C-alpha cells in the first residue's frame, strides 16, 4: 500500500491534511466548510465523549438538550456576547420552499418569511439562560449542573478538518450557582477535568492558565484555558472554562431567593471542548508513517495478523489465537483478529501502522512450533519475539507503557521548545522557529494588540504557576510583574 503522506518537515499542513484523509478519519463534505467524520474517526471521538461524560457525571453533572435555533432577540440581551459572535452566525429567515414557476427547481417562498429570524446555535448560553429562568426560584434549586452534547455552527471562511469547520461537534456545560465563590470553584474544577483528560487520556501535556481580557469568551468575566503544543511548535487551545459572573442571569432576569430570603441574581459558568481535540491528537503525536494513537483512545488497541501459506496452517493459527482474542477482550482490551485473505500481511502491517494501532501481533508457522509471537509497538516502531504464554498481562502492561511513553515524548518536546526571551529581537527570531515563548508583558490590552499586529503571536495564557518576576515588557518597555505564554496558534 502506498501511503504517500508528505513529511512533517517538508510541509506540515499538507502532512496533516493527507493524514486525516489517508487514515480514513474524515473528509470534506458537499457543504462548504463542513466535514464528514468517517467511522474510524468517529470511534475515536466516541471514546473521548465516553471518558469526558463519565468525568462530568462523577462531579454531579447531568446531560440535557436545548434547541438548535435561537431567536435573534436573545443574542441582543448580552451586548458583549452578540458582538463576539455576530460575524459568525448563520441566520434562518424563511420556513418554506416552493417550485419555481419556470421549472428550474425550488426557491425560497418570499411569503414564508419568519417574523423573527432564528440563529443556528453558535453556542447556547442565551437559549439555556432563558430556560433557567423557569427552572430556578430558590437557593434549593442550586447548584444547577447541566451539560449538553451537540453540534454548533460558526460560519468560517477558512476551514481545516477538525481544527476549524463551519459546523462541529462539542459539549457545552452550563451551570448556575448561589455564590460567586461556588461558580469560580466550578470554573476551575472543569478546567482541571479537561487538563486531566488531555494528559491522562490524550497523552497531551497542557499549560493551565487564564486568558487575557482581550482573549476572554464574549460575555464572561474570566476565561480559563488549557494550551497544548503541536509538533510544528504552534499552540492549540484544547479547552476553555468560563466564569460568567451574573452577566447572563441579569440579561435573562434569572433570580432566586437566597437563604436570607432576599432576591439575588445567580452566578454562572460555561465550559466546553470540541472535535478540535481530534486535530490536537493527530498533530501532537503522529509521524510520517501515519497516526500514533494513545492506547486509551485507540479504537483498536491490538491487531493480530496470522501469517500462513495454507488453509490448514490458518486453521492451526486460528485455534491458537482466538482464545487469546477472547482473553484480551475479557481483560478490557480492544482487539482485532485480521485473518482476511483480501490483502497480504505486509499490506496489513502498513495499514494498521497508518491507522495508529498501538500494538501489532504477528504469528506464523514457526511461531506456532516455538510457542512464540512477534510484538510490534507503533510508538517506538520496535519489534520483539516473546513467549505466547502470559501474553495478556504482557500486552496490558505494554499498553500502559505506550500511553506513558507517548505523553513523555510530547512533554519533552514542549520543554525543549519553551524559551524565555527578554528582547523583541529574541522574540521575533524564536517565534519564526516555533514554540512557546515566555516573555514579560506590561498587562495592557494596547501592548497585547500591538504585539499581535506586529508578530501574529498571541498571549496563549497567563499560567497559573506564573512566578512573580520583575521585568520589562519586550514591546513597550514598561514594567512587568511576570512572564506570560506567547505563541502562534491554530
How far is Cα of residue 286 from the mean position of the Cα atoms in its chain? 15
Q: What is the pLDDT of residue 3?
A: 63
**DSSP of 206-246, one letter per residue?**
-EEEE--GGGS-TT-SEEEEEEEE-TTS-EEEEEEEEEEET
Pairing of strands 255-257, 263-265: antiparallel
pLDDT tens digits, 420-461 = 999 999 999 999 999 999 999 999 999 999 999 999 999 999
Residue 80 lies in a domain: no
By the 8 A CB rule, do 236 and 280 touch? yes
Q: Which of 349, 368, 401 is the last residue of a domain?
A: 401
Q: What pLDDT shows up at residue 405?
A: 98
Per-residue pLDDT band for 78 (boundaries 50, 70, 90) equals confident
pLDDT digits (tens, 9 = 90+) for 50-76: 999 999 999 999 999 999 999 999 998
Element of type H or E holding 264: strand 263-265
Query: Alpha-carbon distance 344 to 336, whole Å?
Result: 16
Q: Single out the residue of 434, 447, 478, 482 nearest to residue 462, CA to CA.
A: 482
**Reduced to 3 states, what is the DSSP secondary structure of residue 278?**
helix
The Cα–Cα gap between 322 and 117 comes to 59
Same domain, 329 and 478: no
Average pLDDT over residues 179-191: 98
Residue finishing a domain among 255, 285, 315 = 285
pLDDT at 379 over 50: yes
- For residues 158 and 244, membership in a common domain is answered with yes
- Indicate if 151 and 261 belong to the same structural domain: yes
* Residue 145 belongs to domain with CATH number: 3.30.930.10
- Note the pLDDT of residue 80: 83
Give mean pLDDT, residues 258-264. Answer: 97
Here the cell at position 440 is: 514579560
Q: Is residue 411 part of a domain?
A: no
pLDDT given for residue 4 in this prediction: 78
Burial class (CB in 10 A: 0-12, 13-18, 19+), 149: middle
In a domain, 119, yes or no: no
The number of residues in the chain equals 490
pLDDT surpasses 90 at 333: yes
- Please choose, from the candidates 481, 422, 486, the residue with its C-alpha nearest in 3D space to the C-alpha of residue 454: 486
Residue 368 lies in a domain: yes
Same domain? 201 vs 144: yes
Average pLDDT over residues 196-221: 97
Is 279 in the same domain as 319?
no
Q: Given a cut of 70, is residue 2 above it in pLDDT?
A: no
Q: How far apart are CA 387 and CA 377, in angstroms?
A: 16
Q: What is the CATH number of the domain that holds 438?
A: 3.30.110.30
Distance CA 51, CA 67 (A): 25
Distance in angstroms (rounded) separating the CA atoms of residues 438 and 436:
7
In a domain, 89, yes or no: no
The residues pairing with 69 across neighbouring beta strands, listed in sequence order, are 120
Residues 372 and 395 in one domain: yes
- Choose the final residue of a domain: 285, 316, 337: 285
Domain count, the chain: 3
The secondary structure of 323-340 as a DSSP string is HHHHHHHHTT--EEE---
Verify that 143 and 39 share a domain, yes or no: yes
**473 shares a domain with 355:** no
Residue 416, C-beta contacts closer than 8 angstroms, at least 6 positions apart: none
Averaged over 189-196, what is the pLDDT?
98
Give the HSE-up count for residue 127: Cα atoms under 13 Å, Cβ half-sphere: 18
Asked if residue 336 and residue 247 are part of one domain, the reply reads no
Query: Is 366 part of any domain?
Result: yes
Mean predicted lDDT score pLDDT of the chain: 97
Residues 281 and 304 in one domain: no
- Let me know: does 247 contact 78? Beta carbons within 8 Å: yes
Same structural domain for residues 241 and 376? no
Same domain, residue pair 184 and 320 = no
Q: Look at the block and give the residue holding cell 502470559.
A: 390
Range of the domain at 326: 300-401
Q: How confident is the model at residue 258 (pLDDT cuts 50, 70, 90)?
A: very high
Q: Would you say residue 53 lies in a domain?
A: yes
Provide the CATH number for the domain around residue 335: 3.40.50.800
In a domain, 268, yes or no: yes
Asked if pLDDT for residue 321 goes beyond 50, the answer is yes
Taking 50 as the threshold, does the pLDDT of residue 1 lie above it? no
Interatomic CA distance for residues 231 and 435, integer angstroms: 9
Longest dimension (CA), the chain: 83
Amino acid at each position: 500500500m502506498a501511503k504517500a503522506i508528505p513529511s512533517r518537515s517538508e510541509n506540515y499542513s499538507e502532512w496533516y491534511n493527507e493524514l486525516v484523509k489517508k487514515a480514513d478519519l474524515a473528509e470534506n463534505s458537499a457543504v462548504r466548510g463542513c466535514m464528514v467524520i468517517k467511522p474510524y474517526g468517529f470511534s475515536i471521538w466516541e471514546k473521548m465523549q465516553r471518558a469526558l461524560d463519565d468525568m462530568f457525571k462523577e462531579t454531579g453533572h447531568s446531560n440535557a438538550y436545548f434547541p438548535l435555533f435561537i431567536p435573534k432577540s436573545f443574542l441582543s440581551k448580552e451586548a458583549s456576547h452578540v458582538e463576539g459572535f455576530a460575524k459568525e452566525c448563520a441566520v434562518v429567515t424563511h420556513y418554506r420552499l416552493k417550485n419555481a414557476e419556470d421549472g428550474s427547481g425550488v426557491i425560497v417562498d418570499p411569503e414564508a418569511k419568519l417574523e423573527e429570524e432564528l440563529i443556528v446555535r453558535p453556542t447556547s448560553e442565551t437559549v439555556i439562560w432563558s430556560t433557567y429562568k423557569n427552572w430556578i426560584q430558590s437557593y434549593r434549586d442550586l447548584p444547577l449542573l447541566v451539560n449538553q452534547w451537540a453540534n454548533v455552527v460558526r460560519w468560517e471562511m477558512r476551514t481545516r478538518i477538525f481544527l476549524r469547520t463551519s459546523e462541529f461537534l462539542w459539549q457545552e456545560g452550563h451551570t448556575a450557582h448561589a455564590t460567586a465563590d461556588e461558580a469560580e470553584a466550578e470554573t476551575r474544577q472543569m478546567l482541571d477535568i479537561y487538563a486531566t483528560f488531555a494528559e491522562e487520556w490524550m497523552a497531551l501535556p497542557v499549560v493551565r492558565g487564564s486568558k487575557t481580557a482581550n482573549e476572554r469568551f464574549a460575555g464572561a468575566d474570566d476565561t480559563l484555558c488549557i494550551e497544548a503544543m503541536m509538533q510544528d511548535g504552534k499552540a492549540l487551545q484544547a479547552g476553555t472554562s468560563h466564569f460568567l459572573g451574573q452577566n447572563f442571569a441579569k440579561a435573562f432576569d434569572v433570580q432566586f431567593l437566597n437563604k436570607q430570603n432576599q432576591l439575588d441574581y445567580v452566578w454562572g459558568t460555561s465550559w466546553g471542548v470540541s472535535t478540535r481535540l481530534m486535530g490536537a491528537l493527530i498533530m501532537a503525536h503522529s509521524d510520517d508513517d501515519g497516526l500514533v494513537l494513545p492506547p486509551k483512545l485507540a479504537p483498536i488497541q491490538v491487531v493480530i495478523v496470522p501469517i500462513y501459506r495454507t488453509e490448514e496452517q490458518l486453521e492451526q493459527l486460528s485455534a491458537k489465537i482466538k482464545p487469546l482474542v477472547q482473553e484480551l477482550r475479557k481483560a478490557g482490551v480492544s482487539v482485532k483478529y485480521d485473518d482476511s485473505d483480501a490483502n497480504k500481511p505486509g499490506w496489513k502491517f502498513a495499514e494498521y501502522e497508518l491507522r495508529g494501532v498501538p500494538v501489532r501481533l504477528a504469528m506464523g508457522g514457526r511461531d506456532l512450533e516455538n510457542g512464540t509471537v512477534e510484538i510490534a509497538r507503533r510508538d517506538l516502531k520496535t519489534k520483539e519475539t516473546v513467549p505466547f504464554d502470559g501474553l495478556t498481562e504482557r500486552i496490558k502492561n505494554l499498553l500502559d507503557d505506550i500511553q506513558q511513553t507517548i505523553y513523555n515524548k510530547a512533554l519533552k518536546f514542549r520543554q525543549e521548545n519553551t524559551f524565555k526571551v527578554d528582547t523583541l529581537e529574541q522574540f521575533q527570531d524564536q517565534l519564526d522557529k516555533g514554540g512557546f515563548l515566555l516573555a514579560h508583558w506590561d498587562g495592557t490590552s494596547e501592548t497585547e494588540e500591538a504585539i499581535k499586529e506586529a508578530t501574529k503571536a498571541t498571549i496563549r495564557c497567563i499560567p497559573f504557576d506564573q512566578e512573580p518576576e520583575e521585568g520589562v515588557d519586550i514591546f513597550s518597555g514598561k514594567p512587568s510583574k511576570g512572564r506570560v505564554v506567547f505563541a502562534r496558534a491554530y
